[in-house]
Amino acid sequence: MKKLILICVLISTVSFAQIKTGAQNYNAYLPLLKGKSVGIVTNQTGIIDSKTHLVDFLVQKNIKIKTIFAPEHGFRGTADAGEHVSDEIDAKTGLSITSLYGKNNKPTPEQLKNIDIMVFDLQDVGTRLYTYVSTMHRIMEACAENNVPLIVLDRPNPNIAIVDGPVLDIAFQSGIGMHPTPLLHGMTLGEEAKMINGQKWLKNGVQCKLTVIPCLNYNRKMTYSLPVRPSPNLPNDQSVNLYVSLCLFEGTNVSMGRGTEKQFQIYGSPYLPKSNFAFTPKPNFGDKDPLYNGVECNGEDLSAIPRINKLEIKWLIKAYQSTSDKSKFFDKRKFSIRAGNEKLQQQIEAGTSEEEIRKSWQEGLKNFKKMRAPYLIYR
């Protein structure tokens, strides 16, 4: 009986243990940084807890940080999507910040010259369209080319249970799709880093000296609510869940709510038929010049729907079928880069059913899951 009680207590402890991010798993990486000159790639998501940023934590631990490298949206995460981010000085710490978004998207040999080790800590959302994985790819490449070890502090993927969508055709490789992965890949950045290295996807097949600091008490069945918005236009869990499904609209003439308070939770355009929902985009924190600025858009409010567990394309199909001018719906180049192929647009224009479209993804998804298996950290 005592043995049974002990087993129940242990199961309870494991089940309700709090997830700890790689950054919070500091006993695993602080010894690797002692006495080293450190470069760090991070932004507002790189936190230890609600009050402490990783950079401040490392400074308190007397870790010598030489440079902060900032991705899209900047170190404090306030720049619009696609907006040029300039180099600056962090007002709080006095540390220099080097932008990795704009002309200089990869650290130069000169910028890495006096750095002994690099640390990478960004919160991803589980889709190949999010630019943080591209930033990580370039950091890995620069570290490999300049013989600088890299530590990736892993964080949970809020969409980790979903593997869905077309696998990228490498002919459509871009900054929002660098690897042959599906739109939703179900991996953390730490797992992706291992895959990028293992598959030799870096330029000329180079591999970096990589250490992934894993999350603790985490598995693939767990849900995870982001404590900080990962970018200006992802304000809550609903937007993070719907992001990639609605992001496909960025290759069309449909707005997905930029310039409102429900970014990536609504969609609409002046070319869709009137319904019981409409919105008017206006400049705001997330977008200074949103699509259809000041123009009423008819569409659909998804902000209160249940969480989705797949790449949802029914809204895209519905919008195409009901738009007033189908010839102006798609921007072929923008859509193909986001979809990762030309086929999805062709299927929608041909009236292919959603079921048939999904069937066309299955072989690619099966092969991808087989390829990624050796790199998974969490079960």
CATH of domain 22-224: 3.40.50.12170
Structural domain boundaries of the chain? 22-224, 237-340
* Paired tokens of 301: 């409010």
- The angle, 0 to 180 degrees and rounded to 10, between the axes of the packed helices 314-322 and 237-247 is 50
User: CA quadruple 332, 347, 305, 218: dihedral positive or negative?
Assistant: negative
From residue 320, give the alpha-carbon distance in Å to each of 253, 273, 332.
10, 11, 14
Per-residue pLDDT of the chain in tens (379 residues, 90 and over written 9): 444 444 443 333 344 479 999 999 999 999 999 999 999 999 999 999 989 999 999 999 999 999 999 887 667 655 454 444 555 888 788 898 998 877 788 999 999 999 999 999 999 999 999 999 999 999 999 999 999 999 999 999 999 999 999 999 999 999 999 999 999 999 999 999 999 999 999 999 999 999 999 999 999 999 999 999 999 999 999 999 999 999 999 999 999 999 999 999 999 999 999 999 999 999 998 899 999 999 999 999 999 999 999 999 999 999 999 999 999 999 999 999 999 999 999 999 999 999 999 999 999 999 999 999 999 999 9
Strand residue runs (E) in the chain? 37-42, 47-49, 52-53, 64-70, 88-89, 96-99, 117-121, 150-153, 164-167, 182-184, 210-213, 266-269, 278-279, 297-301
The pTM for the full model equals 0.92
- Tell me the C-alpha distance between 149 and 209, whole Å: 5
- Return all residues near 304 (Cβ < 8 A) that are at least 6 apart: none
pLDDT at 87: 58
pLDDT at 80: 52
- Tell me the C-alpha distance between 148 and 93, whole Å: 24
- Tell me the C-alpha distance between 245 and 309, whole Å: 11
- Return all residues near 291 (Cβ < 8 A) that are at least 6 apart: 255, 258, 259, 281
Question: What residue has token string 């007033």?
Answer: 324
pLDDT at 4: 43
DSSP string, 276-300: S-EE----BTTBSS-TTTT--EEEE
Partners of 284 in the β-ladder: 287
Q: Which long-range contacts (CB under 8 A, 24 or more apart) does 195-199 make?
A: 195/371, 195/372, 195/375, 196/136, 196/137, 196/140, 197/140, 198/374, 198/375, 199/371
